[in-house]
Structure 1
Amino acid sequence: MISLQLPQVPMPDPVVQMIGTSIPLHVLQAQVDADMQVREIGRLRPLAHDEDRQDFETALADLARANKILASHDPRFIVRGAA
């Protein structure tokens, strides 16, 4: 199967705002939360300390919770983590 990578095209701000107004607020918040948790997962080293391991597992759980909301709205919205 050949995978074709299309270049990303920037969208004008009015288009982004129009899209944002058509998506429910709780889904937009879940998107922000998921992106934040992916950054947090990338920052933590789960094998370093017990506290880091607990924070890592908490971040994974929060990412899964946000992805559940995103997937219920549209499965293409799921955020993939770096874990």
Structure 2
Amino acid sequence: SEKSLKRLQKKVSRKNKGSNNRKKAINRLGRKHLQVSRQRKDFAIKTALCVVKSNDLVAFEKLQVKNMVKNSKLAKSISDVGWSLFTQ
């Protein structure tokens, strides 16, 4: 889905500002972002449910995700996984 987001973003940037085709492309890009966010949320919920069902006791460390994202080498992978969704 990252590749498709990249492709759709490129399509939006190539359209003329204010044109109907640009509005359509922006709409497609927005729907794709929504789909990706729902996929992440679904994965987090299903994984958390699996962990809870398979273990009697679950403990997790409270990490400072905001500070970890400041590291440019880790930021994309941390954001993509969605650690904050998993703890909810």
Give the TM-score range, shorter chain: 0.3 to 0.5
TM-score, reference length from structure 2: 0.36
TM-score, reference length from structure 1: 0.38
